[in-house]
Each structure stands twice: as structure tokens, then as C-alpha cells.
Copies of this chain bind each other. A is one copy, B any other.
């Protein structure tokens, strides 16, 4: 784990990168990192996240700045700009049931090729997917997702990169932290090593590549 300045962290992300971004309607999204991506004018990003929040919040900022060419998300209903870009063909949107999305990300982080779920069977979600029958029940095979970068926001981080999250700001963060080649973390508080009890660490330090300095 290395500690880096915000600017330096975001400079590592090339145009065209695949990003996973923590957060749920902006809650638990690393806003500083998102702001810096907008400032540096990144383009053609693929963003994997729960939702696109609202204009001006979280992933919504990346939509408004036209940084995203493809979004893999479960919900865009509260961001009219996402809907517009999708309808106008400016951005591709792959809609994934929320429970399937988080399991596909988890599978990527856990070295699983995919999971079987009944969610989506018999709906438009099953299109182009392999169906597998186990003990007489039909499931969709949902395959693993991986990213180049995970952008996570924690409540506490320590000097070796251990992260703990607060309440509903946890959401996708610990899961995306496992599924990306490079993990960039931002935290509300950076505390000395040992301050976070072992049982309260949700993302172990060795998983985190870069911690953004205050």
C-alpha cells in the first residue's frame, strides 16, 4: 500500500479504463476522487456501480461530464441525464438486477467464474445467457465482473491500508475493493495502525494499493 496525493492517484487512470465505484445513490462514493476525474477530463470510461445517483452527486457527476461511455448499473431512475444519454445513444447502459450485480462483482473478486441465480429467469434479463438446471430448478449463469480500478470510500483507514466502513455507506465498497486490479481508497479519517480492531476491518490492508492522503 502506498499513500498518494489525490491528483497522482487519478493520473494513474487512463481514458478507456474500467472502473468500479462504491456507493449507493452517492452515499459512500469517494466524491473527491470523482471530482478529480472530472477535473482531469477522463473520457470513455466503463463504470460499474449500483446506480448513477443524481446529477451533481457521486457517479452522477461522471455522467454529466460525459466521462462514461458504458455504465453497468442496476438503477438510473433518479438521474434524468443518464436516461437522456442512454436514449440518445451517447452512453451504453447495461441494466443488471442489483443482487445479481453485486454477486457478479463478488464473483470477480473471489476467483469464481460466475454464480447461478433464479433472479431474471423468464424476463428480458435472461437474454443471451446460459441457463443451467440444478435439481430441477432453472437458473441463469451470471458471470464474474472485473475492473481495472476500484474507487472506494471508507470511514476509517489505517497506515497499512485496512479499511472500515460506516453504516449504509458500506454498500458496494468492500465488494468492489476485491474485484479490481488496482484499488484506490479514500477515507474520512486516516488513523494510526492498530486503531481499527481486527474484527472491524472490512477490507484488509493488503487488498488496497493506494490510499489518498488528506
Chain A residues packing against B (C-beta within 8 Å): 103, 107, 110-118, 130, 132, 134-135, 137, 139, 141, 143-144, 164-167, 170, 198-200
Contacts and interface: CB of A to CB of B under 8 A. Distances in A.
15 contacts: A103-B110, A111-B117, A112-B139, A113-B117, A113-B118, A113-B137, A113-B139, A114-B134, A114-B139, A116-B141, A130-B132, A132-B132, A134-B141, A167-B198, A199-B200
Nearest to A107: B115
A199 B113 contact: no
A115 B117 contact: no
B199 A165 contact: yes
Contacts of A132: 113-114, 130, 132, 141
Given A112-B117, A113-B137, A114-B132, 8 more contacts: A111-B118, A112-B139, A113-B117, A113-B134, A113-B139, A134-B141, A135-B143, A167-B198
A135 B107 CA distance: 14
Contacts of A115: 107, 112, 114-116
Nearest to A202: B199
Given A141-B132, A166-B199, A199-B165, A103 B113 contact: no
Nearest to A138: B113
A35 B116 CA distance: 37
A117 B108 CA distance: 11
Contacts of A117: 111-113
A130 B134 CA distance: 10
Contact of A116 (B113, B137, B164, B167): B113
